[in-house]
Chains A and B, each alone.
Chain A
Amino acid sequence: MGKELILKTLRHEKTDAVPWVPFAGVHAGKLKGYMADEVLTDSDKLYESLMEAYKLYVPDGLPTLFDLQLEAEALGCDLLWAKNNPPSVQTHPLSGEKSIPCRCKIPTEESGRIPAVLDAMRRVKADIGDGAALYGLICGPFTLASHLRGTDIFMDMITDPGYVTELLEFCGEVAIKMSSMYLDAGMDVIAVVDPLVSQISPKHFNQILAPTFTAVFDYVRSRGAYSCFFVCGNATRQIEPMCKTNPDGISVDENVDMVKAKEITDRYNIAIGGNIPLTTTMLFGTQQDNMKCVIDLLDSMDHHNLIISPGCDMPYDTPIENTIAAAQAVKTPDAVREMIANYEGGGFEDIEIEIPDYGHLDKVLIELFTLDPEQCAACTYMVNVVKDNYEDMKDIADYVVYKYNVKEDIARTMKMGLKNLPTMCINGEPKWVSIIPSREELLEEVRRCAAR
């Protein structure tokens, strides 16, 4: 029933239940005692971890690998590996050199870690392919383009949109090739995961990105398979443009009001998935928090065209019992609703936080409120735009990075009243919310504040 439930939902048919897709990426490794780098490089360990996730979390749909750096690595980016997170991109081959990679560089079944991934996919397909819909996750073309070009791409979009379009099309060809390999290995759904889509304007999305995304989704459809468009961050204003690229489903995180987003996806008859908060609920919450969150989601929306899942890739250390509780709530909502009838939750308000006296600082204070500067691509690029240009403003500004997987930082984010991450505050004022400024915009703002 699990697999069919997902496929029916992505075909927009009526279902008896709401499907559940736990995004257990590196977290699946934790279930077998493997670290993130092990599960992302060793096909045996990946296979074992996925089988364990299938057993423990009873998923209707199961992502096989959640690593948005896989394609970038195959295309020449150096990665920084971590034990508890997917790797992050350290070098950008096209930084300082505005060119398009040769098509001969498009990954093949032999490139980088792809052979190990395909091997694990085939084995998982053979063992549980009838039970769960298997998701092949690929790096979205815009995030891949940013991996290749670095933060310059945000300025390029303004000064040389033709170049960005060409680079996007190249990354779209990579996405099509990855989709083709994953479908051949037995994947039922291709998820195009592009966190950076939330960081640009709908105008830029429509002009530069949309044709490439549409091409990828059309390709997947031509293969008789299903597609989903995953985005992270505050993608509220992108939901409609994303629908127009015609995926079968869209997936959002806690930065998006899912009830309002579903009103839009329903108009386009596209399924929507989400959006259990990754850190406050899944990582730091209790079992009751997770149950309540799922029940609240189920009770706030019509169940047609709906998938319940975490907002994005689950943190490595997510307590297993929390995920099990979320699964339980999706599978037996009536029983769980009774269990949590009087539960309130919360707890971060009690942590003491000192807010700087912004009016009396020696230097301009740049505060970067992130989900995780290594794991979340949008956060990485927002942090990097400050780091890369800090030399030019170090005499007049300080900067500090907060992470939403540290309890004190969560409390600080709440005390500042910030609703969306990443956000960059300048002297306490949220200046860029889910938008990455160009170097020029950043320097201008810092200098303006310093002159006051």
Chain B
Amino acid sequence: MIELTLLTGFLGAGKTTLLRSLLKGFENEKIGVIINEFGEINIDGVLLQKDGVEMRQLSNGSIFCACIKDKFVTGLIEMSGSGVSRLFIEASGLADPASMERILEGVREQLYTPYDYRGAICVVDAETYLDLQDVLPALRSQVEYSGAVVINKADLAGNGQVEAVSAAITELNAGAGQYVTSFCRLDFREILRRLSPVDRESRESTNTVESRPKTFVLRSAEPVERSSLLRFLRAAAPSAYRIKGFCRTAEDGMTEVSAVGTRIKLRPWEGDGAEPDLVVISSVGIRMMSLIVGALEDCGLRGKLTL
């Protein structure tokens, strides 16, 4: 049996950080990873590249949406014949995983080795979760269908905020274990040991082609000043669910970029395989195009970062 764990959580909540720790913790095992992103470009795949990891990347939609569900099913079947002992699936930020068990049931007959579905771990951002769960129904579904919920970024949360998030999660799913942390620092073996699938009937996912946010990709044609990049990110990030990826800066060369709301992180990237692409996941639809073009002009980046 291959132990299968699903990781869910909104854009920027910390799923990739959690997955990175998990991979480190199982260095001696052959691990499979399926990474799912909305955009055409898969950033997390680059962040997680590691020897001994069998990886599949599914871009351009949610694995629970009809648009790429067939590729997800093929990925599950192939992975079951690849000799891995564990499989982690990192769902895209707005994935509604309500149909996970139904999908597994559907492929059972075609698997080379059966999966033991251990359930879902959902990562939530303590600072922003309460605001977002009201506007994005997929986030509630992620909590409802989780065996464990990691309340991350507790260090950034205000007074009483962690308790309020915890209460909201209990209201949605009283049976889920809750783990409060920052930087996803956790005893994940303990979480995995106690994890179990939720006792809730599987239903159709609300992920449809319509409910997918628009994404825009910016490529750095030439290195840009770090200060200009920061100004651009400050201007664009409030209208984006998330900005992530890589950009070449004059100071640090290839730089990993992550922006959620007003929190912006730039880190020199020392790994391989990164292309200088920044993915902007819009929260304002196609208007993001005009905001990006305006911000690039204001920050002197026209022609340096190109759409």
Contact = CB atoms under 8 A, between A and B. Distances in A.
B300 to A, nearest CB: 14
Contact of B306 (A101, A104, A166, A223): A223
A121 B204 CA distance: 46
B206 to A, nearest CB: 14
Given A211-B290, A218-B289, A173 B214 contact: yes
Nearest to B38: A103
Given A166-B210, A222-B296, A103 B286 contact: no
Contacts of A101: 209
A173 B286 contact: yes
Given A100-B209, A103-B212, A211 B302 contact: no
Nearest to B307: A222
SS class, residues of chain B in contact with chain A:
loop
Contacts of B285: 165-166, 169, 211
Contacts of A172: 286
Contact of A215 (B210, B287, B296): B287
B286 A104 contact: no
Contact of A104 (B67, B210, B214, B303): B67
Contacts of A100: 209-210
B197 interface: no
B60 A104 contact: yes
B293 A218 contact: yes
Interface in A153-179: 165-166, 169, 172-173, 176
Nearest to A104: B67
B245 interface: no
Given A100-B210, A101-B209, A103-B67, A218 B60 contact: no
Interface string B287-307: 111101110100000110011
Interface string A192-218: 000000000000000000011011101
A180 to B, nearest CB: 8
B306 to A, nearest CB: 7
Contacts, number: 58
A12 interface: no
B67 A219 contact: no
Nearest to B293: A218
A417 interface: no
A389 interface: no
A165 B286 CA distance: 10
A123 interface: no
B209 A176 contact: no
Most chain B CB inside 10 Å of its own CB: which residue of A101, A102, A211: A102
A31 B289 CA distance: 40
B290 A214 contact: yes
A169 B66 CA distance: 20
B61 A218 contact: no
Contact of B287 (A176, A211, A223, A224): A211
Nearest to A166: B210
A221 interface: yes
Nearest to B285: A169
A99 B286 contact: no
A220 to B, nearest CB: 10
Contacts of A176: 289
Contacts of B289: 176, 215-216, 218-219
23 contacts: A101-B209, A102-B61, A102-B66, A102-B67, A102-B209, A103-B61, A103-B209, A104-B60, A104-B67, A166-B285, A172-B286, A211-B287, A214-B287, A215-B288, A215-B290, A218-B289, A219-B289, A219-B293, A222-B293, A222-B296, A222-B302, A222-B306, A223-B306
Interface of B: 60-61, 66-68, 209-210, 212, 214, 285-290, 292-294, 296, 302-303, 306-307
Given A173-B286, A219-B307, 19 more contacts: A99-B209, A102-B61, A102-B66, A103-B67, A103-B212, A104-B60, A104-B67, A166-B285, A169-B286, A172-B286, A211-B286, A211-B287, A212-B286, A214-B290, A215-B288, A222-B293, A222-B296, A222-B306, A223-B307
Interface of A: 99-104, 165-166, 169, 172-173, 176, 211-212, 214-216, 218-219, 221-224
Which 9 pairs across A and B sit closest by C-beta, in order of nearness? A215-B289, A102-B209, A218-B293, A169-B286, A100-B210, A102-B67, A218-B290, A215-B286, A222-B293
